[in-house]
Amino acid sequence: MAKTLFEKIWDAHQAVAETQAAPGVLYIDLHLIHEVTSPQAFKAIEDRGLTVRRPELTFATLDHATPTTPRAPGAKPIYATKAAESQVRRLEDNCRRHGVRLAGWDSEDRGIVHVIGPELGLTQPGQTIVCGDSHTATHGAFGALAFGIGTTEVGHVLATQCLLQRRPKTMRVTVDGELRAGVSAKDLILAIIAELGAGGASGHVIEYAGSAIEALSMEERMTVCNMSIEAGARAGLIAPDETTLDYLRGRKYAPKGAAFEAARKRWAQLKSDPGALFDAEVRIDGSRVSPMVTWGDSPDMAAPVDAVAPMPSGPESARALAYMGFKPGEALMGETIDTVFIGSCTNARLSDLREAAAVMAGRHVKAGVRMLVVPGSEAVKRAAEAEGLDSIFTTAGAQWREPGCSMCIAMNGDTGKPGERVISTSNRNFAGRQGKGVRTVLASPATAAASAVAGAIADPRRILEASHAQ
Amino acid sequence: MLSEPIRYINSATFVLKEANIDTDQIIPARFLTTTGRDALADACFADWRFSDGVEKTGHPLNTVDTSTHAILVAGDNFGCGSSREHAPWALRDFGFQAVITSRAADIFKSNALKNGLVVCEIEEAAHAALLDRPGIDVEIDVETQTVRAGDISARFTLEPFARTCLLEGVDPLGFILGQSDAIAAFEARAR
């Protein structure tokens, strides 16, 4: 019978099949952990006298609560709070005791969990991957089934390498056509979420397909899969192809030589069969997508950057517009911003920083605007510095910081002030997400950078066209 | 390891009408540096309840008595966003025993049911009726999966194993550990 990509991965990982009475036991190939959602899980298994079943399939990093303040090499990090520091200490201690690999402060591999998994070649096609973090779907870009779990489930995976799961439904989002110049993967996923709604893909695993998806680089595919949860999806994935293989070849933990060739043969099977049925099908014309910004406090409240703030369709959107300080019917472009954040597991990879730097080069952050650029990992930071991106940002008046989640979740001391409007390359514009009372506008790195220069929401195509004309 | 079985919840409701109440609203990220899972009642909806550390007068979350109003009726897509299990921990600590909504986000629902917070997803008309009548007495019957309140009656469907866990106090981790042989056999096959 014709199977979807999701079904192939799912079926291959059923240690015990699902029944009417109980969910199936799904085997997990890679368990990623970080300091915020793991301490209670380690405690729960220790309280029962259990150990980590497969420490070698578990990988930890420090990212959420860690400071990103610039510091000299080897200098000690200064935490925003004692609690943040003790949380990090707890993970270091748990990893030591249970023999779990940790990309800690002393590691050149440290970074945001969803940036380093792919970067290190830990993330591979056909795997099941979980993490106590809702943006785990990022890894689906490699044709893996990757999804976020709660802390109790983190404990289940630590102790058993398995999860109790019922088979979710499937949805295929096909994006045909070609993205226009100046339109990024971030714009595409914001457009998809606006189409589906914040809960529109609840209970589903999305497979992204179509010519516009196939044309994306791995980093762009990660940006798309990353935000699947913002439409309510359990996971998002993309069938592996030559682009995937080219990315994986030579990565630290990816198979090498003959093992890579053997893996490549297995991975070639990882695509939805012709005629495979999905529970839902959505089609998007990629050539109609524009650079997008959000106008409300839910990620599905997004519109083309050159559109006007919409007329409220009900109390929710009226409240959201009021919160953001946008007037229905007035242009979004030109609305002032106070802070710019380039970072997060959505948009802090090298290509994202290049995209922002291309806009910033030879320009300056508008007076009075604060701009933070936070690379996704130590490796991204090194690579960006090697090609001089850091000096483009600092010359433009932006801060070049240490890797971490930073202002995306704003629990490490990097926050906006109440009432500030922040244009951000992160994934959530929830009220107060970036600090109490902060108003977040989600956008691509190019749009965020163009807005930094203008001091207001701006269309990056205008700046880039001006650059090309010179 | 068994937990306290939950069969019925009888209580008055407390209503938060907004749709898409995300877990950042339920518990803001700055409270996530804890390494524990209790003492989170003050963090629950903190930015809705407090301004500069002072309770906002008149906010219904600051006057609700959850010993009598333990059922939260909330707008559609409740618990969306971050996977933080701190959200159901905080709601439980605050005193809520159940959430009634038209649709709850997947990860939130899974987390809530593992912490004795019953999530009832009911059809829109009954949901709308409950949203319009804050404080109404409701009976949630986990066994028959029904919500009853005066002339309002609606069904909800729990994942059958989660329902068994609630009704019998079964512990899911114990259930997985009980299948260790099958897991070991799977690992042997996969090698």
Q: Does A467 touch chain B (CB under 8 A)?
A: no
Strand pairing partners for A145?
A128
Predicted pLDDT at B182: 98
Q: Does A152 touch chain B (CB under 8 A)?
A: yes
The verdict on a CB contact (< 8 Å) between A232 and B110 is no
> What is the tens place of the pLDDT at every residue in A367-386?
999 999 999 999 999 999 99
pLDDT above 70 covers a percentage of chain B that reads 99
How far is residue A462's CA from residue A456's CA, in Å, rounded to a whole number?
Answer: 14
Largest Cα–Cα distance in chain A?
A: 68
**What are the residue ranges of CATH 3.30.499.10 in chain A?**
5-165, 294-469
Q: CB-CB: which of A155, A164, A319 is closest to B161?
A: A164
Closest Cα in chain B, distance from residue A33 (Å): 13
Euclidean distance between CA atoms A105 and A62, whole angstroms = 8
Please tell me if residue A169 touches chain B, with a CB cutoff of 8 Å: no
Q: Cβ–Cβ of B25/A25 closer than 8 Å?
A: no
B173 closest CB neighbour out of A90, A155, A437? A155
Q: Are B114 and B174 in contact (CB under 8 A)?
A: no
Looking at chain A, the domain(s) classified CATH 3.40.1060.10 span 169-288
User: Which 3 state secondary structure label does DSSP give B169?
Assistant: coil
Enumerate the residues of chain A whose CB falls inside 8 A of the CB of residue B176: 25, 156, 159-160, 162-164
- On the question of pLDDT at A462 being above 70, the answer is yes
Residue A266 distance to chain B (closest CA, Å): 13
Contact list, B18 vs chain A (CB under 8 Å): 316, 319
- Does A84 reach chain B within 8 Å, measured CB to CB? yes
pLDDT score at A465:
81
What residues in A contact B34, CB-CB < 8 Å?
A: 83, 87
Contacts of A166 in chain B (CB under 8 A): 159
**Which chain B residues are closer than 8 Å to A159 by Cβ?**
173, 176-177
3-class secondary structure per residue, chain A: CCCCHHHHHHHHCEEECCCCCCCEEEECCEEEECCCCCHHHHHHHHHCCCCCCCHHHEEEECCCCCCCCCCCCCCCCCCCCHHHHHHHHHHHHHHHHHCCEEECCCCCCCECHHHHHHHCCCCCCCCEEEECCHHHHHHHHHCCEEEECCHHHHHHHHHHCEEEECCCEEEEEEEECCCCCCCCHHHHHHHHHHHHCCCCCCCEEEEEECHHHHCCCHHHHHHHHHHHHHHCCCEEECCCCHHHHHHHCCCCCCCCHHHHHHHHHHHCCCCCCCCCCCCEEEEEEHHHCCCEEECCCCCCCEEECCCECCCCCCHHHHHHHHHHCCCCCCECCCCECCEEEECCCCCCCHHHHHHHHHHHCCCCCCCCCEEEECCCEHHHHHHHHHCCHHHHHHHCCCEECCCCCHHHCCCCCCCCCCCCEEEECCCCCCCCCCCCCCEEEECCHHHHHHHHHHCECCCHHHHHHHHHHC
CATH architecture of A5-165: 2-Layer Sandwich (3.30)
Choose from B2, B27, B33 for mutation: most chain A CBs within 10 A: B33
Once rounded to an integer, what is the mean pLDDT over residues A424-438?
Answer: 97
What's the rounded Cα separation, in Å, for the pair A448 and A341?
7
CA distance A240 to chain B (A): 21
Q: How confident is the model at residue A467 (pLDDT cuts 50, 70, 90)?
A: confident
- Classify domain A294-469 at the CATH superfamily level: Aconitase, domain 3 (3.30.499.10)
- pLDDT the model gives residue B1: 55
Confidence band (pLDDT; 50, 70, 90) for A470? low
A84 to chain B: which residues are within 8 Å by CB? 33
Domain of residue B80: give its range: 8-190
Phi, psi at residue B187, to the nearest 5°?
Answer: -60, -40
Of the pLDDT bands very low, low, confident and very high (cuts 50, 70, 90), residue A23 is very high
pLDDT value of residue B2:
59
Cβ within 8 Å of residue B52, ≥6 positions away: none
Q: How far apart are CA A300 and CA A192, in angstroms?
A: 8
Q: Mean pLDDT, chain A, as a whole number?
A: 97
Of the partner residues A40, A50, A148, the one whose CB lies closest to the CB of residue B37: A40
Lowest mean pLDDT among A85-99, A355-369, A455-469, B90-104: A455-469
Q: Is the pLDDT of residue A112 over 90?
A: yes
- What angle separates helix A39-47 from helix A151-160, to the nearest 10 degrees? 50
CA distances for A428 relative to A138, A149, A231, A237, B26, angstroms: 15, 18, 11, 20, 15
CATH for A169-288, options being 3.10.440.10, 3.40.1060.10, 3.40.50.720, 3.40.50.300: 3.40.1060.10
Residue A466: its pLDDT value, please?
A: 77
**What is the mean pLDDT of the segment spanning A40-54?**
98
A25 touches chain B (CB under 8 A): yes
Residue among A37, A198, A430 whose CB faces B84 most closely: A37
Contact B35, A40 (CB under 8 A): yes
Of B22, B29, B180, the CB nearest to A411: B29
**pLDDT tens digit sequence for A80-100:** 999 999 999 999 999 999 999
B49: pLDDT strictly greater than 90: yes
Predicted local confidence at residue A469, as pLDDT: 67
User: Which chain B residue lies closest to A20 (C-alpha atoms)?
Assistant: B160
Q: Is the pLDDT of residue A389 over 80?
A: yes
In a domain, B3, yes or no: no
DSSP class of residue B164 equals H
Question: What's the confidence (pLDDT) of residue B77?
Answer: 97
A442 touches chain B (CB under 8 A): no
Mean pLDDT, residues B113-128 taken together = 98
Question: Angle A350-360/A445-454 helices, nearest 10 degrees?
Answer: 30
* pTM confidence score: 0.97
Give the residue-averaged pLDDT of B125-141: 98
- Convert the pLDDT of each residue in A167-219 to its tens digit: 999 999 999 999 999 999 999 999 999 999 999 999 999 999 999 999 999 99
Query: Span A432-458, mean pLDDT?
Result: 98
Considering only the beta carbons, identify the residue of A152, A202, A319 that sits closest to B105.
A202
CB contact under 8 A, B33 and A81: yes
Closest-approach residue (CA) in chain A for B24: A433
Count of domains in chain B? 1
State whether ipTM is beyond 0.90.
yes
B1 assigned to some structural domain:
no
- CATH number for the domain that contains residue B185: 3.20.19.10
Q: Which residues in chain A (320-349) have CB-CB distances under 8 A to chain B? A: none
| Structure confidence at residue B88 (pLDDT) | 98
Distance of CA A293 to the CA centre of its chain: 17
pLDDT number for residue B40: 97
